[in-house]
Structure 1
């Protein structure tokens, strides 16, 4: 498993929950690096942001293999979480229980955004790519499962084995070297563009000196302020940023070197 995008280091957090979430991602990224750094059958993007129609999917870990994609959500759990028969999630809180959003549904939404991005900006056929979803519960947490199996949920140290199982039985979907290269090149470009777009959205009037995207955003946002909302301008910028990404094939050795074995499988 070659790591194409490392988890960005962070030292400042708005809340203790943000820090705990980052530590869970860090733990999962460590397992990926430790167990699969030399495995060329799959590629990993940590902290992969993807946009479609203004909706942002923040994917903790995106796995690419010849049979499809795997979305992994890292969930920080310091105590115990329970999954009910109705697939509702609760966590231990101050001696009682507190409801929490389902990480599985969160993964499914991220997969939908990714497929919509493919449909809008890449090849429409890519929207049919198989995408599996997994939830990685941090090592210190305890998971209480319902009476039936929930194979998509496991402790972080068990996730690599689940990924290997999925890869082993998946029929080839990215069939040839050129399609694998185009898929990975597109994801590399699309994730990088999303990072830039998110930064611009935080500061809508970023000076043009910060890059061509900043200048384009500035021009779109201020060109017709009476009829164009910030959200509409942001979508225009999204389309402009992603339009050339599908046509781009990487020539960067930083990208090509770890991809070569994967592309030539």
Structure 2
């Protein structure tokens, strides 16, 4: 099933398939040794045991060729084995990646939850923190806007940390700059939801029109948008997203788990409830 997420091309390192491919090769080597064991055992039994040292090649060229033929014939006769190996390796890799991601999230907990600059909706003193990375032009972020508003209106222990992550071009950056610059004027949240609910092109002119509609001082907003502080917040959000493995918008972090894509409200609430139960 496709994930409702706007892709973010900031991830470094190998593609998932490259690592899986390497693991498949390792699995085949293991299979080779398993199938070859009886042959190897015969070779060792026929050879003086005191002459066999760890690391020596105990198989002759003829035996190696025979082993290769056995494995080739076995795989041809049982092609489904490769699918089973791939599935098992994918599952193993997913578990390992999730665990590594938990470690990284916990290592960046303060930057994620309490950086001192991100707007916190809901209950700022709430015991459960939900972090959302979003882009105002992302259609899937727009899709989740009503759910996010409902979440903060119907829960009294959730603090929603909103992190602008403009990834869809210059207009996205302008919208994020304006939203961050609106915080000192005390109009962030209505401006935030108005931007997300806007339809059509979201260029600078439209952003300023929305800002005026929600009661912002647009002249002050225009000046504040160009500040080094606003630029630093966006740069830091991008670096943090890269660090914790966010690959697109929207992306949510609840507890020590990253929830990518436009997850339904029920799924987010279930994760929140799990965090409540664990605390």
> Shared fold (TM-score greater than 0.5)?
no
Say which structure is richer in helix: 2
Say which structure is richer in strand: 1
Larger radius of gyration: 2
TM-score by length of 1: 0.26
- Higher relative contact order (Cα pairs below 8 Å, separated by 6+ residues): 2
TM-score by length of 2: 0.25
